[in-house]
Structure 1
Amino acid sequence: MRTYELVLRQIEADLAAGRLRLGDRLPGERALASLLGVSRPSVREAIRVLEAMGVVRTGVGSGPEAGAIIVAEPASPLTATLRLHLATSHLPMGDIVQTRVLLESWAVREAAGRADPEQLAAAGQLLDAMDDPDLPRERFHLLDAEFHVALATLAGNVLVSTIMASLREAIHGYVVAAAADLPDWVATAGELRRQHRAVFAAIAGGDGDGAASLVAAHIEGFYRTARLT
């Protein structure tokens, strides 16, 4: 089990037991890491996942809005979401790819031409960040996973976006593992950027079928290339 998963399980248990409630602030990174016997980066990753799921809101600084605050009720749907997230690291790569194709192709088709402008702009900012030629490979992979979760969110279906958020770590994990063996990462990254931009342009331009076809080809193409390598 990854160390950050221990943090997620502890937070889940505290929510279920009522030790944490809506509006409560989580302990700081140092305190939580010491309490659970894990590293601060593991705590930071767990908080990031919880924020993406809408469980916590984070703020910077030292004022009343600083730190991670519980903003979701500790109800059974939350527990199910966290359990799904923890389970994804054990799923076969092929199953993840098929699920991504189904969810993302549907989501971009639905979102084309009518996505929320702010959410669409946020997805575009992720692409801009990936365009940095000096971007470390690991950071590129993280942004790549975030972009695909953002695409699923554009359709406005809460369940689809929740499932994709839960799959984020599984997606990141298999992409990192596959990319490590690619013979020319620079060329691969350039092609991934081009494909991302094409999907984004089709959504913004209202071409739902085109966006669905492009995102499916993008996901399946990388999978084929990685397996061949």
Structure 2
Amino acid sequence: MTADLTFTYKGLTKSIGLPMFKPIKSPRTFELVAQEIQEAILSGRFKVGERLPSERELSATMKVGRPAIREAIRTLEYSGLLDVSKGVDGGIFVTKPDSSVALSKVFSYLFRLGEISIDQLTEARLLIEKDIVELAMRKISSQDEYSGLEQVLNSALEKCRTGVRPRKENFEFHRILAQFSRNPILIIIDNAIMPVLYSFVESLKPSLEHSKLVTESHMGILREMKKKNLRGALEKVEEHILWFSEEFKKTSGSEAISPNDIRFPDF
């Protein structure tokens, strides 16, 4: 099928036919292999934790070369559907994909390109973390459920006393809080944002005193939640996020932080 393109030059009109669609290229062999394996997993033929046949067996079954099998497995491993381990008990195993990892990579690319500023991160956090706290308070049925958050904050305080910045604990607080919402979409988004937040924090090399203030702010949020004071908890969340934003603007001297030397959590 073609579309006519008409143009006029020196009084003469000319029409030429142009194709409406580009030619379709056949997918590469490894892409077809990846699609076949992916469909086998998503249709339930292979469950999470099950071992797939070996490269050699897959090659023989699908009648394609082992390089194509290897490339397909590498692609699915990167997407989070497969995990490849070596050794006596090694093999190709089906895993449950962590959607927050994939989303976090997108955020990290935007950060590297300078497309995410501290103000944009703050806006997103205000919307998401308030919803998380509200849902958590609605769904938590026992004070005992707060024990995980209390342990993390106590560990953070102990590190501060010994002169160590509680990097892991201050981020773990947000991860546990998101879990309390029992909403997988909010959990995925919050977990994806945390590495970007971590990048902002580490790029500015905050002091131990700053880490103490972050921990104390987290304790204030938890206190209001335990008192079942929703309004107070939401106010503490907003106060915490806005304070964090302003402190880092002062430290960086700019509303947008450079993505140079970006680092992500290794804990």
TM-score (norm 1): 0.62
Quote the Cα distance in structure 2 between the aligned partners of 1:201 and 1:173.
Answer: 28
Structure 1: gaps of 5 or more residues: 1-13, 26-49, 57-63
Residues 205-228 of structure 1, C-alpha deviations (whole Å, 9 max, x = no match): 211111111011111101101111
Aligned to 1:136: 164
**Higher mean C-alpha displacement, 162-171 vs 113-122:** 113-122
Residues 129-178 of structure 1, C-alpha deviations (whole Å, 9 max, x = no match): 211232633xx222212211222221221110111111221121112223
CA separation of 1:189 and 1:159: change in aligned 2, threshold 3 A:
same
Aligned to 1:35: none
Quote the Cα distance in structure 1 between the aligned partners of 2:243 and 2:177.
Answer: 18
Determine whether 1:99 maps to 2:124: yes
Q: Number of aligned pairs?
A: 175
CA separation of 1:116 and 1:130: change in aligned 2, threshold 3 A:
farther
- Structure having the larger proportion of residues in strand: 2
Aligned mate of 1:112, from 130, 137, 152: 137
More relative contact order in 1 or in 2 (CA 8 Å, sep 6+)? 1
- Structure having the larger proportion of residues in helix: 1
TM-score (norm 2): 0.54
Quote the Cα distance in structure 1 between the aligned partners of 2:185 and 2:135.
Answer: 14
Structure 2: gaps of 5 or more residues: 1-32, 52-79, 83-88, 252-267
- Match of 2:245, SS? helix
Aligned to 1:127: 153
- Match of 2:140, SS? coil
Determine whether 1:228 maps to 2:257: no
Provide the alpha-carbon RMSD of the alignment.
3.8
Any residues of structure 2 matched to 1:166-205 within 5 Å, and which?
Answer: 166-178=192-204, 180=205, 182=206, 185-205=207-227
Structure with greater Cα Rg:
2
Moved over 6 A (4+): 14-17
Of all paired residues, the percent bearing the same amino acid is 17
Residues 62-119 of structure 1, C-alpha deviations (whole Å, 9 max, x = no match): xx9xxxx7552x6xxx5x5443121121241322221111111121122226426565
